[in-house]
Amino acid sequence: MDDLILATKDLQEQFTEKRVLNNLTFQLRRGRFLSIVGENGVGKTTLLRIILGQLKPTHGSVTFYPNRKAVKIGYVPQFRNIDDEYPLAVKNFVALNFTQHHWPWLTAAERARLTAVLQETKLLDIKNEPLGRTSGGEKQRTYLAQALVIKPDLLILDESTASLDPIAKEQLLRLVRHLNQTTGITVISVTHDVPLAKQFSDDYLLLQPDGYQFGPIDQLQVSEYQGGEHHV
Ligand SMILES: Nc1ncnc2c1ncn2[C@@H]1O[C@H](COP(=O)(O)OP(=O)(O)OP(=O)(O)O)[C@@H](O)[C@H]1O
């Protein structure tokens, strides 16, 4: 169990109208990049919410190793309400995730961490720009930086590339993969983009209406993936 970061056992979620996750059981090793794929409504976000502790499974469990408290999670949600007028500068938006309360007066250690993460995510040049005026790709990198600033052990991305053009999509995933390989951070990424998942991940979890598949990414058959926004 040494190198596991989390394991699920027999997970199921029963909503009023629908049941998702069919006794889902899988184990994720530390340092791996897992892509979760599957058609719309199959339960991908539900699984993330269970892992994040926002939703209690109707059945089954999630276990963290060595325990939940020891696994720091950085989360990039699927939707944000950032309009063109959003005034907070990129660097201040990233710093929101520091837990200390007297922001914006960061400690020296926090300032150093902030600079490091802005550099890692290639945001130094635009750190003083209001977030509302940045491009889609820059916004996604800012959300990523905000999740990373706390030095998480596990990074969870919910369709972070969905709104991006193909070049920005690949750049973002390449960056996440680079961080995964250089820092050892474990990544769980929900995506509809199977070719990109195949390019950048180690493992896949394909959720299906009546079951699931889990395994090394090279075993994911593109033809088995039906649905999502991008039919392949
Ligand atoms: N709180 C809830 N109450 C009732 N039904 C819900 C709730 N949350 C999700 N569902 C339903 O459960 C199913 C799975 O939703 P979920 O958001 O996990 O799917 P998904 O695979 O992430 O879909 P997408 O690819 O469209 O984001 C959907 O049919 C959804 O309508």
Ligand 1 surroundings by CB, under 6 angstroms: 15-16, 18, 20, 38, 40-46
Q: Which residues of 42-65 are buried (b: 16+ CB within 10 A; e: fewer)?
A: bbbbbbbbbbeeeeebeebebebb
| 12 pLDDT above the threshold of 90 | yes
Q: Give the per-residue pLDDT at 83.
A: 87
Round to whole Å and give the CA distance between 96 and 33: 26
Residue pair 133/84 in contact (Cβ under 8 Å)? The answer is yes
Distance from the alpha carbon of residue 45 to the mean position of ligand 1, in angstroms: 7
Burial of 4 (0-12, 13-18, 19+ CB in 10 A): middle
Is the ipTM above a cut-off of 0.90? yes
Q: Give the per-residue pLDDT at 2.
A: 65
- Atom 24 of ligand 1, residue of closest alpha carbon: 40
Burial of 106 (0-12, 13-18, 19+ CB in 10 A): middle
Distance from the alpha carbon of residue 214 to the mean position of ligand 1, in angstroms: 20
Least confident range from 65-69, 100-104, 115-119, 175-179: namely 100-104
Average pLDDT, the chain: 91
Q: Give the per-residue pLDDT at 93.
A: 93
Does the pTM surpass 0.90? The reply is yes
Ligand 1 atom nearest to CA at 55: 1
Q: Give the per-residue pLDDT at 231.
A: 38
Q: Which two tokens stand for residue 165?
A: 């053009």
- Atom 3 of ligand 1, residue of closest alpha carbon: 15
| 114 pLDDT above the threshold of 90 | yes
- Atom 16 of ligand 1, residue of closest alpha carbon: 43
Q: Give the per-residue pLDDT at 230.
A: 42
Q: Give the per-residue pLDDT at 80.
A: 81
